[in-house]
Amino acid sequence: MTRAQQTTSIALLLTSVYLAVFFEVVSFPETIQKEIVPVIPFWGLVSFGAYLLFKLGWGVFTFNDVPEAHKEIMAEIQLARKELSAKGVDVGTD
């Protein structure tokens, strides 16, 4: 099963469970049914957005923690400077 199929299967399962609860096929106490169940999709959306913001922030926070990638990029920059200098382009020496 591919990751897309797995994600789709989980999404369909959660949607069907939510709809069963929302349309009172599976019933809960009145307070839960009328006050909590209708706002579950919004809560899920906000939680998903918070998760994505956390992942983005963590990626920015740990961006400099990859010395191998830094060395690789610096080597590529030096190679590009040499190639451009060989073709007569002034690239500077930052």
Q: What is the pLDDT of residue 61?
A: 87
Whether pTM > 0.85 for this model: the answer is no
Q: What is the pLDDT of residue 62?
A: 82
pLDDT of residue 65 exceeding 70, the answer is no
pLDDT of residue 64 exceeding 80, the answer is no
Q: What is the pLDDT of residue 94?
A: 58
Burial 32-64 (b: 16+ CB within 10 A, else e): eeeeeeeeeeeeeeeeeeeeeeeeeeeeeeeee
**At 9, is the secondary structure helix, strand, or coil?**
helix
**Which tokens go with 12?**
């369909």
Q: What is the pLDDT of residues 11-63, one digit of tens each?
A: 999 999 999 999 999 989 999 999 999 999 999 999 999 999 999 999 888 87
Q: What is the pLDDT of residue 93?
A: 66
* Domain ranges across the chain: 3-86
**At 21, is the secondary structure helix, strand, or coil?**
helix
Q: What is the pLDDT of residue 18?
A: 96
